[in-house]
Amino acid sequence: MYFTEGSPIADQRVPAGPIETRWDRRRFSARLVNPANRRNRSVIVVGTGLAGGSAAATLGELGYQVKSFCYQDSPRRAHSIAAQGGINAAKNYRNDGDSVHRLFYDTVKGGDFRSRESNVHRLAQVSVEIIDQCVAQGVPFAREYGGLLDTRSFGGAQVSRTFYARGQTGQQLLLGAYQALERQVAAGRVEMHPRTEMLDLIVVDGRARGIVVRDLVSGAVSTHFADAVVLATGGYGNVFHLSTNAKGCNATAIWRAHRRGALFANPCFTQIHPTCIPISGDHQSKLTLMSESLRNDGRVWVPRDRNDTRAPNDIPEADRDYFLERMYPAFGNLVPRDIASRAAKNISDEKRGVYLDFADAIARLGALAVEQRYGNLFEMYQRITGDDPYRTPMRIYPAVHYTMGGLWVDYDLRSTIPGLFVIGEANFSDHGANRLGASALMQGLADGYFVLPGVIGDYLADAPFGPVDDSHPMVADTVSEVRGRVKTLLAVDGDRTVESFHRELGRLMWDECGMERDEAGLRKALERIPELREEFWQRVKVPGTGERLNQELEKAGRVADFFELAELMCVDALHRRESCGGHFRSESQTEDGEALRDDANFSYVAAWEYTGVGRPPVLHKEELVFEHVTPSTRSYA
């Protein structure tokens, strides 16, 4: 028995009526907090990425008292900074047939019909405002000679709706949000706590009222209280050890909230990105993404003969297999990620990778134009591999990149714990079983600038919720649990490093719960993970003390949570006996090897309830209703 089933989720707080006006109506029906009272309402925002940074800045602008947290030394370094390719918006500046409805449609389809229509529609609507907001902040998007914004295409779309800033879109968007945030810091509306890690959520009388944090420099464990808590702590791809995520990315904040009662939705929906730089050796510490935008002009191929050992430039045209163009003539190299990744994996292996070739593009556009579009990505590739992509094709291979799963939220971004809101990659909300390229930045900023500020007032209108302080028994318990954990990690003093455990867990997850999953493998993983977890608590070695900067201790805490989450991911993957989006069960495929959905049995969001370490979680289903897009077999051929 890996899990039990509980009651379905009844209320998603979605307004009824025409989908086009739902968001407007929800905003109108949401209660407001009058400006004078906002000063007395406090909000904790954990995370300063696109979601958290924009939310904290905007809530500050509205007049709330905000406390903002991140584990890096500056909010500007949140992982969003690494996003390269771009951000989608239904601006239709190109007049190529784009519209809010088309973006909505593409996203629901791209997510393989496992997302909530109302949320996605709202996302598409708000996308338009995001671009306006960012341009006004001075985000230096790419422009044409006429001075207007340039766009390009991304996977899963046949229109050109992706706005970009060379290969540094995430950085530029994040700096915009960061600058807005710092403006509020200067104005005294936001209190910034960098190098501070959230280790637990404080729930008092059924409401999220604060967090327990550890100051990473002094090691001090302390509490912060507020009327509401917002988690914007990003994704959990680092469960796999090797991923394109930053080294510090972790699941601790959402996992601790899950342990306190927030449901965790679709944990097994992870995205594997097709174009990353292949692993070069055992020392590998992370994987580097080569932006999806490269597939606009780069052509993906493998040698026809798997055993061809010739250098790529020596392989003649006739001996190359441009397999994406061959298999998916309509979308060609721009098929969605899940599809490209699996095709690449089936056709090649981790060591050799596949080729991403720019020879045609250079011949067609000239090296200069290619450099202008992708110059910094090419440089990055060359720095890492020592190869020059202007001359030899890039070698690429799929890698874990994004997690569609996350804490379950309703239409108002509320988790199942009152007062706990979850935004950005940390929630599960908008991408279903597969996220389209350039849509994560869109979602983060939509949540932070517009959606959360539009609805949080409705919750805060009920505040104040009564005083809490460190003496409250619930608070004291939570703090002492956190202190106990830190102490235990230091006390084990075993003989294995945190890194070695993380590597082993990651390998296991990649093999058994990676791009392709099957029942036997998942069962195997579900045996092994608890053993490994036990071993971790017996044998881990964390040197130093908890009273000052101790990066090994930080890592240990994060890996400890990855074990628990990994187990839930496998349970989720095992229970979902269908293939959809990034979740591919080998038992469930069409004749030509495409994902085979089972809408009759699995058209729901799987939201899991925590019951204890190693105890079977409880499954709560949110049935998905499709009124505007009819689920069909995804076809990109």
Partner 1 sequence: MKLTLRIWRQSGATGRLVEYVLDDLSPDMSFLEMLDVLNERLITEGQEPVAFDHDCREGICGMCGLMINGMAHGPEKATTACQLHLRHFRDGDVVTVEPWRAEPFPVVRDLVVDRSAFDRIVAAGGYVSVPAGSAPDAHATPVPKPDADTAFEAAACIGCGACVAACPNGSAMLFTAAKATHLGVLPQGQPERYSRARDMVAEHDASGFGGCTNTGECTSACPKGIPLTTIARLNADLLRAHTTRSDR
Ligand X SMILES: Cc1cc2nc3c(=O)[nH]c(=O)nc-3n(C[C@H](O)[C@H](O)[C@H](O)COP(=O)(O)OP(=O)(O)OC[C@H]3O[C@@H](n4cnc5c(N)ncnc54)[C@H](O)[C@@H]3O)c2cc1C
16 vs 383, which CB is nearer to partner 1?
383
Q: Which of 210, 202, 181, 204 is nearest to 43 (CA)?
A: 210
Task: Say how far apart CA 632 and CA 341 lie, in whole Å.
Answer: 21
51 vs 505, which CB is nearer to ligand X?
51
Cα distances from 569 to residues 183, 562, 618, 621, in angstroms, run 39, 10, 13, 16
For position 47 contacting ligand X by CB under 6 A, the verdict is yes
For position 476 contacting partner 1 by CB under 8 A, the verdict is no
Catalytic residue among 22, 337, 517, 585: 337
Among 155, 156, 210, 234, binds ligand X (CB under 6 A): 234
Q: Which does 626 bind (CB under 5 to 8 A by kind): ligand X, partner 1, none?
A: none
Token readout for 398 is 């799929």
For position 76 contacting partner 1 by CB under 8 A, the verdict is yes
Among 46, 159, 290, 559, binds ligand X (CB under 6 A): 46
Three-state secondary-structure class, residue 581: coil
301 vs 381, which CB is nearer to partner 1?
381
Q: Pick the stretch among 138-146, 507-515, 593-601, 626-634 that binds partner 1 (CB under 8 A).
A: 138-146
φ, ψ for residue 53 (rounded to 5)?
Answer: -65, -45
Q: Which does 495 bind (CB under 5 to 8 A by kind): partner 1, ligand X, none?
A: partner 1
Q: Pick the stretch among 468-476, 482-490, 548-556, 629-637 that binds partner 1 (CB under 8 A).
A: 548-556
For position 160 contacting ligand X by CB under 6 A, the verdict is no
Q: How far is the CB of 255 from ligand X (least distance, A)?
A: 9
Other beta carbons less than 10 A from residue 4's beta carbon: 12
Token readout for 187 is 């104005």
Q: Which of 266, 236, 623, 620 is nearest to 428 (CA)?
A: 266
Residues with Cβ < 8 Å from 102, sequence gap 6 or more?
90, 159
Task: Say how far apart CA 93 and CA 481 lie, in whole Å.
Answer: 54
Among 119, 125, 133, 169, binds ligand X (CB under 6 A): 169
Provide the b/e sequence for 538-549 (b: ≥16 CB within 10 Å): eebbbeeebeee
Q: Which of 368, 384, 355, 356 is nearest to 296 (CA)?
A: 356
Among 355, 402, 411, 449, binds partner 1 (CB under 8 A): 449
Residues with Cβ < 8 Å from 577, sequence gap 6 or more?
519, 585, 587, 588, 598, 601, 602
Among 330, 363, 367, 384, binds partner 1 (CB under 8 A): 384
402 vs 610, which CB is nearer to ligand X?
402
Among 441, 526, 529, 559, binds ligand X (CB under 6 A): 441
Q: Which does 86 bind (CB under 5 to 8 A by kind): ligand X, partner 1, none?
A: ligand X
Nearest-CB residue for ligand X: 49
Token readout for 326 is 């061959």
For position 142 contacting partner 1 by CB under 8 A, the verdict is yes
For position 70 contacting ligand X by CB under 6 A, the verdict is yes
For position 139 contacting ligand X by CB under 6 A, the verdict is no
Among 9, 46, 228, 246, binds partner 1 (CB under 8 A): 246
Among 36, 186, 318, 491, binds partner 1 (CB under 8 A): 186
For position 582 contacting ligand X by CB under 6 A, the verdict is no
Among 281, 316, 467, 473, binds partner 1 (CB under 8 A): 281
For position 453 contacting partner 1 by CB under 8 A, the verdict is yes
Q: Which of residues 241-270 bind ligand X (CB under 6 A)?
A: 244-245, 249-250, 252-253
CA 470: distance to chain centroid? 33
Q: Which does 46 bind (CB under 5 to 8 A by kind): partner 1, ligand X, none?
A: ligand X
Catalytic (active site) residue 337? yes
Cα distances from 57 to residues 12, 71, 176, in angstroms, run 27, 18, 10
111 vs 424, which CB is nearer to ligand X?
424
Other beta carbons less than 10 A from residue 429's beta carbon: 30
* DSSP state string for 491-507: HH--SEEHHHHHHHHHH
Q: Which does 175 bind (CB under 5 to 8 A by kind): ligand X, partner 1, none?
A: partner 1
Q: How far is the CB of 103 from partner 1 (least distance, A)?
A: 16
Helix axes 169-186, 50-62, angle to 10 degrees: 30
Cα distances from 265 to residues 64, 208, 258, 416, 488, in angstroms, run 29, 19, 10, 11, 30
Place of tokens 């997690």: 403
For position 494 contacting partner 1 by CB under 8 A, the verdict is no
Cα distances from 523 to residues 1, 17, 504, 587, 598, in angstroms, run 11, 44, 17, 14, 21
Residues with Cβ < 8 Å from 235, sequence gap 6 or more?
245, 249, 402, 403, 406, 425, 426
Q: Pick the stretch among 94-102, 285-293, 299-307, 412-420 that binds partner 1 (CB under 8 A).
A: 285-293
Q: How far is the CB of 181 from partner 1 (least distance, A)?
A: 9
The H-or-E segment that residue 223 falls in is: strand 221-225
Q: How far is the CB of 439 from ligand X (least distance, A)?
A: 5
Q: Pick the stretch among 37-45, 307-315, 347-355, 536-544 that binds partner 1 (CB under 8 A).
A: 536-544
For position 175 contacting partner 1 by CB under 8 A, the verdict is yes
Residues acting as catalytic residues: 337
Applying CB under 6 A, which residues contact ligand X? Answer: 46-52, 69-72, 78-80, 82-87, 169-170, 197-198, 232-235, 244-245, 249-250, 252-253, 289, 401-402, 424-426, 438-441, 444
